[in-house]
Structure 1
């Protein structure tokens, strides 16, 4: 049974435009995969804690040497890694906040970037271990920044770092521009229909 993991990051949760585009794609996917499973992670409703020294130390301590407190800290990260590792398709709804990704998504990334688990270092450089997955990223922005913006580059680089190299981006820009908003959203919805 195929699994789609939908991660929404808008402060407005399901009402955010990026969340709605991701949900539209997930519904289309579910229609094409009636036996498939859709798992939703809402990082606004359930934010992942930001990384601190104690949590990072817990991640890198060998499991058999972790204290009770460290085991509790690692438990969430382990469950997030298990969730994304078990997904065949990853869907991200990502608004632009202050020229980058939401801080909740960055915190989530810090919890799933685990050396020896989701990536490893080799003499030839890092190797992502979450392979054979397809990702769809729906980005919404108030203004116009283009597909080569650093926000897109960051997402592409991070996903590639953990092994997800097959990534499709759909941008809906001009959300704060009244004359452009509806046309941009319509174009994004058309692209979703094409992807389906």
Structure 2
């Protein structure tokens, strides 16, 4: 009997997660937990038992994206140009955040004490992935000392959230990211 209950719980979890992924893709971080429960054919209590908070649900939906970004950071760490490697990864983070509605909200530090990203497991994973890239760029003198991965993630999240309602959010987000990276001075160093 216990094995059957575990199998039912596992099946419900997978079903809820699949429905949640579709709802988040359609409605972003504001996807309705009640709608997810309805479409999955389970009660809202079942959804909340598996995902006690909206953030927990969004983090579960974003797990594959986080793993892909982590692997990409490891690949880029081998590049000779440390600044280009860091900026490439950040640009890819912008792309993921724009494409995956709700991902920027998952990375946001709302409710978490600034500097304590471990309150947010997605941001903690991104910090761990990007830290070697940033550390190397700072050591090479191509990124200002004192910049943190938290700063960079906050910058990306802010840009993505500010541009999500533009007609072409990806183009606008990348344009603003480029401005942030190059600065406002005409003689600023290019990103690539």
Q: TM-score, normalised by structure 2?
A: 0.27
Which gives a bigger RCO, structure 1 or 2 (Cα 8 Å, sep 6+)? 1
Higher strand share: 1
User: Highest Rg: 1 or 2?
Assistant: 2
